[in-house]
């Protein structure tokens, strides 16, 4: 069974009952598990294919929201399936869970975010990278690498964005008063407006100074949101 946002034990009705109570009495434990597994996979694929298209990795902080949406989709799926018992008000319950999941998906918004930077195991310097702030309008999902040129300067490169101006240790990055900036290939970079930078951070020195080729890596994640247009949910 593929990994999904929830597990079978999570599939519980709002009243606290297991969804097992709604299934056909002829189903044995293996049949119930098989039905749940199939419903979970359908819900997982629906969320990822229709609502999270283009996102290759989802930050761990978003999983709780997606888990609750998936549970509602699974419950709705099971209630409307051929193995669900004919139970009074099942149609109302089915609609409630389905509509709640749909409403949550249509309002789904994940702000741009960044993981904490990881220091290379071979680093000499013991300085750190502070909290990394992402930019909802310009951050994309990619891997960033900071490489020391000396104890005071790091190059900054995104796997998709490419090189940005160097950062100075101890200064907030980016700096608003840059003059001409040359990157690690000796090319003059186009200087972005401060508000258009995909990342904001500060590298601070520790007890031991950085040396050339010390490095940090971290991932950023693009903002993801959806809006209604002509009855269709599209990626914003």
Q: Which residue has the tokens 């097992």?
A: 20
- pTM of this prediction? 0.64
pLDDT per residue rounded down to tens, the chain (236 residues): 668 999 999 999 988 888 887 787 788 899 999 999 999 999 999 888 777 765 556 667 778 889 999 999 999 998 886 444 445 455 567 788 999 998 888 777 778 889 999 999 999 999 999 999 999 889 998 999 999 999 999 999 999 999 999 999 999 999 876 554 555 555 555 567 888 999 999 999 999 999 999 999 999 988 876 554 444 444 43
Q: What residue segments make up the domains of the chain, in order of their start? A: 8-110, 113-225
The set of residues, in sequence order, having a beta carbon less than 8 Å from that of 138 and lying 6+ positions away, is: 196, 197, 198
Gap between the Cα atoms of 77 and 125, Å rounded: 54
Q: From CA 222, how far away is CA 54, in angstroms rounded?
A: 10
């Amino acid at each position: 069974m593929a990994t999904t946002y929830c597990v079978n034990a999570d599939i519980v009705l709002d009243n606290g009952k297991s969804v097992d109570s709604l299934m056909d009495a002829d189903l044995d434990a293996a049949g119930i598990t098989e039905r749940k597994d199939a419903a979970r996979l359908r819900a997982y694929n629906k969320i990822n294919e229709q609502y999270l298209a283009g996102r290759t990795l989802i930050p761990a902080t978003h999983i709780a929201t997606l888990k609750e949406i998936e549970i509602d989709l699974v419950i709705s799926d099971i209630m409307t399936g051929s193995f669900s018992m004919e139970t009074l008000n099942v149609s109302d319950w089915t609609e409630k869970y389905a509509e709640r999941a749909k409403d949550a998906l249509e309002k789904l918004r994940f702000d741009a975010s960044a993981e904490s930077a990881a220091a290379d195991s071979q680093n000499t310097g013991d300085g750190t990278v502070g909290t990394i702030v992402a930019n909802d309008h310009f951050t994309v999902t990619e891997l960033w690498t900071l490489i020391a040129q000396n104890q005071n300067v790091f190059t900054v490169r995104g796997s998709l964005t490419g090189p940005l101006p160097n950062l100075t240790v101890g200064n907030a990055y980016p700096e608003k008063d840059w003059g001409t900036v040359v990157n690690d290939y000796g090319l003059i970079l186009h200087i972005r407006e401060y508000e258009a930078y995909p990342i904001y951070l500060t590298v601070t020195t520790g007890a031991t100074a950085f040396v050339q080729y010390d490095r940090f890596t971290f991932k950023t994640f693009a903002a993801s949101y959806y809006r209604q247009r002509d009855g269709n949910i599209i990626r914003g």
